[in-house]
Amino acid sequence: MRIGIIGAGVAGSVLAEMLIGQPGITVDIYDRRQPGEAEETGTGLNVGPNALKALRLHLPARHAALRTASLPWTRWTIALADGAPLFDLPLLEVAEEPGIRLRWAELYRLLREPSAGLTHYGVELVGVEEDWAGRLVPVLEVADGTRLLPRGYDLLVGGDGRYSALRVLTAGAPAPVFHGIAMSRLLVPQADDCPYDDYGQWFNGNARLLSYRLPGGAAYIAGGFPLPSPEAEIPAEAKTAAFQRALYLPGLAEPCPAVAWMAAQLAEGAEAIHWARLQDAPLCRSAAAGRVLFLGDAAHAMVPTLGQGATQAIEDGVIAGALLRRGGGAEDVAAWRDTRIAFVRRFSLEATDTMFPGADPVAGSIAKREPEFLAKLRRLYTDVPGPEEFAPARA
């Protein structure tokens, strides 16, 4: 089986490692970036315990590499901007192992290492054709405009992210669904004076800060605040240093040290903040009669509230690899993954409740200690199948 992977991102790289050296399978990867380049290199991320479980069970060497290069994510706390505690959860109450904290660039580097020799860099997908045998041929373009047509593939895999060119070409551009929340992201490269360590959230009304330390002495700060309507753009004023300094500070009390530090960093680094609007896109798992398979954000871009974007991309790559290794196809990946993805997307949006206008962040945060929420979190973090579930059936 010839498999062409478009995009050496999280899902594509994990899938490639799962398939390398498998009898009867050949793999090529095509990525528009050059070696060492990566989107979102200026930010950090947390990867959930469920992704680490998937790697531990299926790709133990990758699991060990990520553990070594990251900081553990062991706790989730929520407080008000003045420091009043609302929620404190040790992750091992609902997970089998901790998550991790690291930079996007480091995640990309580590996941791409095993398949680097199979990757063609600096090529952009601009079309899809068929060869004489009905196999799909990606039409690729290099920087000087030259077009390349490699061999045909029995399966093309879209691992090229939220704005997947393969999805646009074969299934049409997805219509994003906006949820009326502005999102900011800032990496503080030198954060030796940062007064906290593990994953925390702080609310000032419905405006929320999320932050944690990263390897190498850095810290990641993510902000969020409601917009006037779901379709509203982020106003220019909101991106100013003065607005960012004031947004998260309580009006009638002193900010806690963590919030005071983050507000100062956001004001000082206002011009370096990455901006986006909270959004997701409809799930699309396959196209071209099953000859195209979408994984990760190319298939199911979701809100980042529970840190499941890269996490579900890792799950996708592992499970798709296990299924393809035993002769499955796109329909099998859909059967195994789409119910799980529907749950994760729905739960992630539910967990965003405290940020919407009119919501009560105090009551909403305290409710996350209730058995119903913790049961969903436990399902999220542990419901990952092991290799034995993909073993060929005995005659």
The predicted-structure confidence for 117-157, as pLDDT tens digits, reads as follows 999 999 999 999 999 999 999 999 999 999 999 999 999 99
pLDDT at 41: 55
Question: What tens digit of pLDDT does each residue of 27-66 get?
Answer: 999 999 887 665 555 689 999 999 999 999 999 999 999 9
Does residue 200 carry a pLDDT above 90?
Answer: yes
Two structure tokens written together for 205: 């009304």
Q: Which of 327, 344, 196, 306 is nearest to 256 (CA)?
A: 196
Where does the pLDDT of residue 251 fall: very low under 50, low under 70, confident under 90, or very high at 90 and above? Answer: confident
Asked if 182 and 227 touch (Cβ cutoff 8 Å), the reply is: yes
Place of tokens 């899938």: 15
User: Which residues make beta-bridge pairs with 277?
Assistant: 182
Share of the chain above pLDDT 90, in %: 94
271: DSSP letter: G
Question: What tens digit of pLDDT does each residue of 149-197 get?
Answer: 999 999 999 999 999 999 999 999 999 999 999 999 999 999 999 999 9
- CA 10: distance to chain centroid? 8
Where does the pLDDT of residue 349 fall: very low under 50, low under 70, confident under 90, or very high at 90 and above? Answer: very high
Does residue 344 carry a pLDDT above 70?
Answer: yes
Does residue 279 carry a pLDDT above 90?
Answer: yes
- CA 390: distance to chain centroid? 25
Rounded Cα–Cα distance for residues 178 and 242 (Å):
26
Q: Where are the domains of the chain?
A: 2-175+280-386
User: Which residues make beta-bridge pairs with 203?
Assistant: 80, 208
Rounded Cα–Cα distance for residues 63 and 72 (Å):
13
Rounded Cα–Cα distance for residues 91 and 220 (Å):
20
Where does the pLDDT of residue 394 fall: very low under 50, low under 70, confident under 90, or very high at 90 and above? Answer: very low
pLDDT at 32: 94
CATH ID of 2-175+280-386, from 2.60.40.420, 3.40.50.170, 3.50.50.60, 3.30.1330.10: 3.50.50.60
